[in-house]
Amino acid sequence: MRPFHLAFPVDNLEKTREFYTKILECNEGRSSDRWIDFDMYGHQVVAHLIDKVEEVQTNPVDGDDVPASHFGVILELDKWEALAERLKKVDMNFIIEPHIRFKGEAGEQATMFFLDPCGNALEFKAFKNDDMIFATD
């Protein structure tokens, strides 16, 4: 699988740099006074400085109010569990606590949601078996 590229808005580059490098442990790539590249599990995500990040809109999914606009990575289950524990230790304010969604159904997954310092929603998830990522039954 090839790495994806995603650009997202932020209103504070220093808080963004601190969060993505220290909390999520992403390596920093190129940067300027208006943007920063991060290596997020082999994918290129780029924070672009803007004046104001829009308010998060939600959509109901399996009993949770999921941010309609969000991004993240599908991790291996052990890496997801390690990230969840690390985030709990730094007192991450989860908007959706780490849990299992769609229990016993196609697409059962571990998931968690939280915001970066500029209000961008992130979801990290994992499946017991990657064949379930696009399963419909």
Nearest Cα neighbor of 23 from 79, 71, 96, 92 is 92
Q: Give tens-digit pLDDT for 66-104.
A: 999 999 999 999 999 999 999 999 999 999 999 999 999
Position 38 scores a pLDDT of: 98
Query: Six-digit token pair at 35?
Result: 């943007």
User: Does the structure show a pLDDT above 90 at 115?
Assistant: yes
Buried b (16+ CB within 10 A) or exposed e, 116-132: bbbebbbbbbbbeeeee
**Which region holds residue 78: left if phi is over 0, alpha if psi is between -120 and 50, else beta?**
alpha
Q: What domains appear along the chain, each with residue ranges and CATH number?
A: 5-49 (3.30.720), 58-132 (3.10.180.10)
d(CA 112, CA 124): 6
Average pLDDT, the chain: 95
pLDDT above 90: residue 55: no
Digit-coded pLDDT (tens) for 23-33? 999 999 999 99
